[in-house]
Amino acid sequence: MTDTKNLSQLGKHVETPQSPEQAVLETVPFQRGDGPPAIVRFTCPEFTSLCPVTGQPDFAHIVIDYAPDKTLVESKSLKLFMTSFRNHGAFHEECTVMIGRRIVEATKPLWLRVGGYWFPRGGIPIDVFWQTGAPPKDVWLPDTGVAPYRGRG
């Protein structure tokens, strides 16, 4: 059984962090085993942040794929981190890249990619992609499942 006694958020009432910088991404140990690495996917279809100019909400469908090495990101801490962007004013590109970099910093994965599929602002959807390099050899990497913009639905 995975040791979770060092986690400060799982199984506890925790307030949403006021900013992504204040959010704590926690990890749990992971044993990869033999063969190709596993790919772990997190999908956040209702991601929100704030426009840094107008303060109006921006909406995105975020897809995170990563190949963990020795640690996994604990999902409740990830949810709190993602939710903390609701009060954060930043451009789409900054939000998307920040998500990827923070997960890499916390977990030190073999590989990570994040896709930010942003809904239109001023009539133009903005899609932002970031990854740490080429995916590991022999992994099964499914399509993100997010269609090019045509109403995203």
Where in the sequence numbering do the catalytic residues fall? 51, 58
Judge whether 61 is annotated as a binding position: no
For 134, counting Cβ atoms within 10 Å of its Cβ (0-12 exposed, 13-18 middle, 19+ buried), the class is exposed
* Identity at 129, one-letter amino acid code: F
92 annotated as a binding-site residue:
yes
Residue 54: exposed, middle, or buried by beta-carbon count in 10 A (0-12, 13-18, 19+)? exposed
The DSSP code for 138 is T
The answer to whether the annotation marks 46 as part of a ligand binding site is no
- Closest by CA to 84, choosing from 132, 34, 19, is 19
In whole angstroms, give the CA distance from residue 27 to residue 15.
Answer: 19
- Pick out the residues of the known binding site for substrate: 73-75, 92-93
Binding-site residues sit at 73-75, 92-93
